[in-house]
Amino acid sequence: MRRPLIAGNWKMHKTAAEARELARAVALGCAGQDGLDVLLAPPYTALSAVAEIARPAGLLLAAQDMHWAEQGAFTGAISPGMVAEWASHVILGHSERRALFGETDIEVNRKLHAAFAQGLLPIICVGESAEQRDAGQADAVVAAQVVAAFEGIPADEAARAILAYEPVWAIGSGRACDPAEAARMMARLRAGLAERFDARTAQAMRLLYGGSVKPDNIRDYLAAADIDGALVGGASLGAESFNTLLRLSASAPPG
Ligand code: 13P
């Protein structure tokens, strides 16, 4: 049985003081809630502040990105070791990193190797653009991103990775992917992982849907057998909406 995971990606929102406040409210909101992993991904500058609240509350913590090198002359970047001081997880290959910062599949793969070497658990993001979907390339694009990200990664490591399917056109647009289509894409993803690795590895991996997830649609995604949780942007920025989303997820029947 895969444990559901709801992750809040705060992107470039929240000062350390604001992050502390939101983390406290989320910790209160999910106190006593069982059967669900909750993860927060604040900006780097708020990682230590949120860690102090997240650890005792049993919330997981992720950085939103990192460099693959252990250290060096990489102004503005942070290393896997720096992330690991505070967080257990790291988001890699988010479409905003790919589209706005020119991150390539090769870099995502380097970061994935570096995450495992550091003992960090990666949340790898894949997803097609609107143009790619309109051209009928969604399945192929996503499959190719997965193959490239996992190049050289052994099955026992892959089994511990989390994969997030986030169609680019659904992110921050309010145009959430139709749940049946998300379910189809993610069943394809899991089948692809079984081919690339083996059935056991594919079954062990948690797959998240991301893109305009809100309290009013979260249960439609969780109802799908291959959707094990969600990566949430906008709706994770307010305590009320995120806590509502967590409550709805904790009581959702298993997909
Ligand atoms: P939204 O939930 O704001 O669409 O963002 C999704 C996302 O990119 C999470 O990583």
Q: Is 167 in the pocket of ligand 1 (CB under 6 A)?
A: no
Q: Does 134 fall in a domain?
A: yes
In the set 67, 89, 94, 103, the catalytic residue is: 94
pLDDT at 198: 98
* pLDDT, average across residues 158-163: 98
Contacts of 50 (CB under 8 A, 6+ apart): 19, 20, 23, 40, 42, 61, 86
pLDDT, averaged across the chain: 97
CA 166 to CA 91: how far, in whole Å?
12
Of all residues in the chain, the percent with pLDDT exceeding 90 is: 95
Domain residue limits at 20: 5-250
Residue written as tokens 């029947």? 253
Stretch (H or E) spanning 47 = helix 47-57
* pLDDT, average across residues 95-119: 98
| Of 137, 139, 164, 161, the residue nearest 150 (C-alpha) | 161
pLDDT at 184: 98
- 129, 145 in Cβ contact below 8 A? no
Q: Does 15 fall in a domain?
A: yes
pLDDT at 10: 98
Q: Does 238 fall in a domain?
A: yes
Ligand 1 centre and the CA of 114: distance in Å? 25
Q: What confidence tens digit (pLDDT) does each residue in 189-242 have? A: 999 999 999 999 999 999 999 999 999 999 999 999 999 999 999 999 999 999
Q: What confidence tens digit (pLDDT) does each residue in 51-71 have? A: 999 999 999 999 999 999 999
pLDDT at 1: 81
- 3-class secondary structure, 38: strand
Predicted TM-score (pTM) of the model is: 0.98
Split into its structural domains, the chain has a count of 1
* pLDDT, average across residues 36-60: 97
Q: Does 255 fall in a domain?
A: no
Atom of ligand 1 at shortest range from CA of 172: 4
Residue written as tokens 């989320």? 26
- 109, 148 in Cβ contact below 8 A? yes
Q: Is 9 in the pocket of ligand 1 (CB under 6 A)?
A: yes
DSSP class per residue in 113-152: HHHHHHTPEEEEEE---HHHHHTT-HHHHHHHHHHHHTTT
Q: Is 233 in the pocket of ligand 1 (CB under 6 A)?
A: yes
Q: Does 26 fall in a domain?
A: yes
Q: Does 9 fall in a domain?
A: yes
pLDDT at 253: 86
Is residue 166 annotated as a catalytic residue, yes or no? yes
Q: Does 121 fall in a domain?
A: yes
Question: The CATH number of the domain where 46 resides is what?
Answer: 3.20.20.70
Hey, what are 28's tokens?
Answer: 């209160």
